Amino acid sequence: MEIFHFDYIVVGSGLAGLATAYHASKYGNVAILTKSTAQTSNSHFAQGGIACVYDREDRLEKHVEDTLIAGRELCNESTVNILVKEGVDRVKEVIELGMQFDTDEHHEIILGLEGGHSHRRILHAGGDETGARLTSFMLEQVLKLDNVTIFENMSATSILHRDNRAYGVVAYPLSRGESKAFIGKHIVLASGGISKVYSRSTNPDTATGDGISMAIAAGVGVQDLEFIQFHPSALSIEGKPSFLISEAVRGEGAYLLNSKGERFMVGQHPNGELAPRDIVASAIFREMKSDSSNFVYLSLRHLDGEKMRERFQSINRFLMDLGIDFTKEDIPVAPAAHYMVGGVATGSHGETSMNHLYAVGEVASTGVMGANRLASNSLLECLVFAHRAVAHSTAETVEFDQEVKITDIARLFHASESSLTQHQEIIHEMSVVMMQYVGIIRNGNSLSLAQEILVGLKAKVMEPNSIEGIAIIQRINSCLLMIEMASSRKESRGGHIRSDYPKSDEAFKEHTKH
């Protein structure tokens, strides 16, 4: 087995991973392992923007308050204060590096509004291409660095650790070469979320929760996996992908309409279509169920068409390719799994329960998101906690302990072609089960049924000791833990809504830990 040594091993090439690598490069050499190409990540597909108190008339306290309200009393207030306060510095930092956000004719940065925010504070780039432009910008900065090496199409499978100290990861090239070991002084999980385990998701195929699965397998603490955020407005056309229609569209005044052409959010929440995501998604779900429909409508027809085309360029291009002109016709939308609110439990510097192991970005549960993420806080979280994780890692000198490495590295083999075909069938069935029984609204019976089916699927995995077999078993184990946590939370709160326990309960105003 080939073995590489670096000071920092970063798993993931989204904004969290790239920002971590950028800061870590000042203190040593860095390896970035990415499951696809360096450009593929949840961050890349983020349309809305990045939330930041940039307007002089806005206040840090209001951003904190909005985040706490959206988090449904499960946010860590001290961590939220860190996010909001240091977020201003991190955004100014990327601007000083040369990142260009959209500006008006006076060269002032344009600030948008999204659900749950009490003030216009969303910076965007290229209209609805903020994630793509910001991650591409950070990738450009990283590519300039001689001491950062990117390993593309390299899938991490396990954390190497001993005596509660992480010192590396095992990964395998998707080209089906031999597994490789990456040994480092500090290991950073920045592998993104898990929402692709659902059949209807806005995430790329790489978002299968590998970092969470690896952490669970290594005995690292995770929390709040029952809180999956379903984005309210993803395209819903049979046979077409669940393309994200940014919340910023509603921020610019778009309406949600039912099959009768009625604005059903009016009266359900003071902010109407701009209520927090959990409220909007569950309202859409109930509206669909009431008339046995697969979607509701998002309408921009009453807005300035040219302005909307300019503001939402990528959405316009995608829909026009499908023959939909959103200035003249309504868009069929329905909720889709979008963001893992919980994840690997961390402290305020991204530190986990295992020494020298950090988690940053969507894979992490810092306490910032609570039970429901406030729109456009995710890119901000990536920048803030990547910086803090690297700062924390420099607090002590770490030396490689060459003695203990080889004994912990298993030689894995690839599964046969017949096994791979069967694994794809298992993955598909699992995604359907998760969507149907562990979706927007769940209950005790649906969760028990999902658990029973997934246990059965796990038993069907062929060649379980192969690289692919281990990966799929770990993915199933993550879903089973999500179900276990959802079953234990006998209430509805944020992204976790149970029809058998429809109200929030003070007894559950705490994190679910494992």
Mind telling me the catalytic residues? 277
**Hey, what are 121's tokens?**
């504070």
d(CA 449, CA 325): 42
Q: How far apart are CA 395 and CA 189, in angstroms?
A: 19
Residue type, 226: E
* Under 8 Å between Cβ of 315 and 249: yes
CA distance 216 to 225: 12
Q: Which residues, listed in sequence order, are joined to residue 170 by a DSSP beta bridge?
A: 158, 181
Which DSSP symbol is given to 335?
E
CB atoms inside a 10 Å sphere around CB 362: 33
- Taking alpha carbons only, the member of 490, 494, 483, 413 closest to residue 454 is 483
Q: How many Å apart are CA 309 and CA 357, to the nearest integer?
A: 44
Give the gyration radius of the chain's Cα atoms.
22
Q: How far is CA 433 from CA 11, 229, 438, 470, 476, in A?
A: 28, 17, 7, 20, 11
Q: Choose among 210, 186, 165, 295: nearest CA to 35.
A: 210
What's the CA gap between 482 and 450, in Å, rounded?
Answer: 11
DSSP string, 49-82: -EE---STT--HHHHHHHHHHHTTT-S-HHHHHH
- For tokens 């959010």, the residue is 265
By the 10 Å C-beta count (0-12 exposed, 13-18 middle, 19+ buried), 98 is classed as: exposed
Hey, what amino acid is at 458? K
